[in-house]
Each structure stands twice: as C-alpha cells, then as structure tokens.
Structure 1
Amino acid sequence: MSATYDDVLRVSGHAAAPRPAAKALRIEEVAQIAGVSPITVSRALRQPEKLSENTRRKVLAAVAQTGYESNPHARALRSGRSTLVAAFVSNILSQQFGLAIQGLAEEIEADGYELMIGQTSYSYAKEVAMIRSLRSLRPAAVMFTGVIELEENRQALRELGIPIVETWAFPRDPIDMLVGFSNVDAGAMAARHLATRGYRRLAFIGRSGGRGALRLQGFRAEAERNGQTLARVETVEDVRNIADGRAALTRLLAGGNKVDAAFCANDLLATGALIEARARGLAIPSDLAILGFGDNDTAGEIAPGLTTISMDAHELGRRAGALLRDRLGGREPRQPLQNLALHLIVRGST
C-alpha cells in the first residue's frame, strides 16, 4: 500500500533572508601585517616552539590586531573538501531523533566524515540563524529531523550546493533527498486502532503545527470515516518533556466533554498523559485509553504499557547516511526519496 503524501505547509515572507556571511580574514592578510610568510603565521599558532621569540611576538601582535582565528577545517574549506556533516534535530532530548543521528553517524563516519549536531526547536527564527551559520561553515552535507517549511530557507539551502536529506515526513517536494514516512497515515492508523477497540469519543493532543498538524489531519479524517467523534483537540506549541504531556491532559480533563480515548502525537506527550491519568486515579484503559507515537524506552515499561505507533528511527538515520555517502562519493542514489513503514505496537493503554 502506497503512503499518503504529507501536504507540508509552505510559508513565504515570514523570515528575513539569511545575510551573506562576513568575509573571513585570510592568513595572508595577517602575514602581511606581521611582515612574515603565511607559513610562519601558521607555525606561530600551531608550533610556536619552532620560531624565535621575536617572530612569535610579531605574529601574535598581528593576530590580536586583526582578530584572526585559526580554523581547524580551513584547509578542507579552501579545497572544497569539508569533512563536516551537519545534523539538525527538532528536539535534542528526543530518543527517536537520537537513534536517527546514531544511524547517520554510523554511515558517514565510515567514510571519514565528522558529525556536528544542532537543534532547531521547531523555530523558524532558529532555522534562519542555522542557515546563516551553514553559509559560513560550508559543511559537506546536511540532514534534518524534519522538513523545512519556509520557502526562503528552502532556497537558501539549495544555494549551498551540497547534499541535503530531510526526514520525518513524506512531502511531494523535498529540497533534495528524503527518508520519511506519512504523518497523515500515522494519524489514520491511530483512529482505526481505536475504532477496532470500540472507542467512539476521541481526543487529540499534539503540536498545533508541523508534523502534529499532519497527524491530526489523518486522525480527524479517519475518525469521520469510522463514525467516531473527535470531541477535543488539545494543542501544544512546543514539546520539551513529559511534563508537557501531564499539563496537556490536565487541560483536557478540566475542559469537560468526556472522551473515551486520546491520541498523543508523540510519546513524550503520551507518557506524561499516562502518568497524569494514573496520578488522578483513572483506570487505564477503561476510564481513558491513551495511544502515542514513537515508542520510546518508557513506553513498554510504564504500567500498563503504552500502545504506540512506531517506525525504525535508527534505520531512518542509516538510510539518510547512505544517501549522503552516495552523493559525497560522486554516486547518484538509486532511491533519493524513501518511505519507511509504520508499525502499531499494542500494549495495555488501549
């Protein structure tokens, strides 16, 4: 069965275009000020014991005057052969994102590349700042645990002229390469499972935008097909930890309009919701069924066990790394757009 495309939001005009990076000071300019050769400047910074005291003083004075900073990757950057691969995660605390980065690292490090990790925190502003840094750093390739929504940022990334892999969604129009899955299908899978268990009045807990909105789209549409009622939608702007799930369930319960089951769009929210429900004396799943997405380590350990929708995050990262290895090795990947299967793991919470 083919995956449903995610109609990922595309946004224009909501972020300042990245400014051109400031021109980096060249070692030759420092050498000219100090009245020495460029190799002497390099030795003064890396092997000062090989130079006379007078020469070292002249070079260090020029460095202080210009603010020159030695870049350990400068030779690679000048030659166009950077060994850095940048990976940006939406939330550095997510176990699934960590597994994906591990899979990525296992692939690229085999070819001598070094991994650098940053966090976007689901923020357009951070994406803009990130792209500015990439223009200066000039990594060999970039991978995201997500897809870029801002058109300005998408274009700026294309202009870098390096391999780029987006993940965690299945849009029709990735920037370059993609290893993802359908978030719409994930939401539909959640509603179908709850229907088979007899739950009719449903709630959704998740982010208001991005992947959360796509999972809600699939959940809502499938619930309507099944004759279920989506009685409550509790949105969160950011997902940082389990406490966010506890707070979301507290708001859900305080709002009345009783529901039979709640689909939480990630397992941090679902785990927090399950803990909060138990703290309030609710019987799971007879009083409230809870279903999550992601399958973190806690899901199978916390009683009565969290039912969740899962995909192989480590495999996702490994495939992303393999795509980058192909491109960096001068080979065109046979499958630059890849879809991962989703799996339902049933435990006691539903």
Structure 2
Amino acid sequence: MRTPEKVSKPAIEKVKQAVIATGYIPNMLAGGLKSRRSMTVVGLVPIISVPQFLPTVRVMTETLDTSGYQLILGQTGYDHAREEKLISSLMGRRPDGVVVAGQVHSPKARELLKNLGVPVVETWDLSEHPIDMIVGFSHIKVGNAVAGFFLSRGWKNVALATGDDERAQQRRQGFMATFGHDVPTVTIPAPSNLASGRRALSEILEKEPGIEAIFCSSDGLAQGVLVEALARGLRVPQDLALCGFGDADFAAHLVPSLTTVHVDGAGIGRMAAELILSRCAGKEVPQKINDIGFRIVERESTALRSE
C-alpha cells in the first residue's frame, strides 16, 4: 500500500478488496513514527467563517491533498494568548508544516514556531522579517490606494468603519497617511458582520451627517452599512459612496454592486501549500517573501454622481 508502483495492477485490486472486506484502517501514528512524518499541515485562522479566508483554505487543502497531506484547522479568535495555546498543543502532534493567516506578533508564539523545526508560512500580510516564509500584501498600501481612489473622486468628507484587528488597523493607518488628516472612524470588535455594519453607519451619521463616502474593513461590514443606508432612504452611490475589502463572493451581486479591494486568496493558498511541500521535499524555495499584490475593483457603489 505504501509503494503501489512496485506491485502489479491485479495484486493492487486484490489488496483493495481485502482492505474493504476487513475494514482495515492504516495506523497513521505508527507510520509517522517510522517515517518521522505525520502527513499533516496545521492552518491557523482567526475565524474559520470569515469569507476572505475561505478560498485560501479551500485551495490549500486541495493542493496539499495532491501530495498526500491533510490540513488541520485551528481557530485563534484574534487572541494572542489563544494562538500561543494552540501552537503549544499542536507541537505535540508534530505537524509537517504550519500556515498562519496573518503575521504572528507574539514573541512567545514566534519562538514556539521556530523551535518546532518545520516549514512555517505566514499569509495575508507582508513583513521583511517573517518567522520563515510569507505570502501576502501590504495592508498599509491598501489603505493608501483606497484613500487615493477617494481623493481622485473628489470626496473630502469621508469616514472609516473598521475592525479592531491589526490588519484592519494597518489599512486605517495607510488611509490616514494618504488622506493627510484624521477622519471620523468607528471601530468595532473583529470579526465584523452585517449587524455591526448597520451600527457603524448609525454612529458615523450621528457624528457627521454629511459623509460622502465610507471605507469598510470588510465586505461583510460594508454590506451592513449598505443595508442601513437603504433603510434610512440614502441612495448609494448618489448620497453615499461605499468601498469594502476582500471581494467576497456576494460583493458583485449586491444592489448596488460593491466596490472593494480584491486579493487573490486562492493564489495565497496555492503558494503557501507549494512552499510547504517544497520544503517537506527537502527543496530550497526561490524566495521567502512573496508579495501577491491587490487591486481595487470598481463597481456601482462608488460610481460618479453623474453616472
């Protein structure tokens, strides 16, 4: 069963039939002790249900599976202490690799992963000093780009609706740097959702009723802002323009369709898995820091007033 290429096809079929008849299940723990491989890769995500991470997880699972590896997911919940506990727990299971959504900032967690002695890929972020390898993009540059887009539209009275996680705050930092001054901001606990988007718009309008455009830290948050705007009789984009982040599957199908920042989540998952597989095979990777970039997808929610 380990080396089917060395056995004839009729023999393989007989073995398969015997396996089915007896209900035989290979002991992977015993096999792992002999090969020193568990054939598992751990994936750590803040929240499994966050739409922007789903293509990454799906493609990473498929790519690893082609080489016989299985992905085990752990949920950190945007909590450094929980992240440290998860890593400590997983160390005893001896995974062959670790993929993390975002950067690992906790010194203790970084040290734990370094001591694990397996390939580690941080994703959905960018750093000059990754633990091992990284695949992602600059969140500060995302904020720069969206602010530049708003300014090109002539919108000066703008606001932010943002999560309190580190990546969302980096996008806010980039937005402020390009815009040149502080703007009204509502910060909500991550993960954001439709309900928190509705609350965010209510708070923004209480402070600044004449807001022209809002940048949201996720498409789910932007969807909530859109629902609340329509409930208040505001027209999007005529009265209020709106931009999200993540390009979730539903973004193009909202009415009006949502302008957002597209990131190749599937490409992140594929590259992360390939980096892990290359290192597991004893190969050197061409580069450890991989910037996949991003792009603003313009849709109806930011159309010019005259359109």
- For Structure 1 versus Structure 2, the TM-score category normalised by the shorter chain is 0.7 to 0.9
Tell me the distance in 2 between the aligned counterparts of 1:120 and 1:208. Answer: 15
| Gap regions ≥5 residues in structure 2 | 1-21, 303-307
Structure 1 segment 143-182 matched on structure 2, within 5 A: 143-182=99-138
Q: Summarize the Cα distance change of 1:72–1:278 in structure 2 as closer, same or farther, 3 Å threshold.
A: farther
| Residue in 1 that maps onto 2:225 | 273
| Residue in 2 that maps onto 1:61 | none
Superposed CA offset, 1:256-282 (max 9, x none): 363211110111111111111111111
Q: TM-score, normalization: structure 1?
A: 0.76
| Residue in 1 that maps onto 2:5 | none
| Residue in 2 that maps onto 1:187 | 143
| Residue in 2 that maps onto 1:6 | none
Give the CA deviation at 1:106. Answer: 2.0
Q: Share of identical aligned residues, percent?
A: 36
2:237 aligned residue (285, 290, 297): 285
Give the CA deviation at 1:72. Answer: 5.0
| Residue in 1 that maps onto 2:61 | 105
| Residue in 2 that maps onto 1:141 | 97
Aligned length: 277
| Residue in 2 that maps onto 1:90 | 46
Tell me the distance in 2 between the aligned counterparts of 1:134 and 1:77. Answer: 15
Residues 189 and 219 in structure 1, CA contact (< 8 A), matched pair in contact too: yes
Residues 91 and 240 in structure 1, CA contact (< 8 A), matched pair in contact too: no
1:250 aligned residue (202, 212, 231): 202
Residues 108 and 114 in structure 1, CA contact (< 8 A), matched pair in contact too: yes
Q: TM-score, normalization: structure 2?
A: 0.86
What RMSD, in angstroms, separates the aligned Cα atoms of the two structures?
A: 1.7
Residues 261 and 289 in structure 1, CA contact (< 8 A), matched pair in contact too: yes
278-287 or 256-265: which moved more? 256-265
Residues 44 and 100 in structure 2, CA contact (< 8 A), matched pair in contact too: yes
Give the CA deviation at 1:208. Answer: 2.6
Structure 1 segment 1-350 matched on structure 2, within 5 A: 73-79=28-34, 80-224=36-180, 230-256=182-208, 258-350=210-302
Give the CA deviation at 1:129. Answer: 1.6
Structure (1 or 2) with the larger CA radius of gyration: 1
Q: Summarize the Cα distance change of 1:72–1:240 in structure 2 as closer, same or farther, 3 Å threshold.
A: farther
SS of alignment partner, residue 277 of structure 1: helix
Give the CA deviation at 1:182. Answer: 0.6
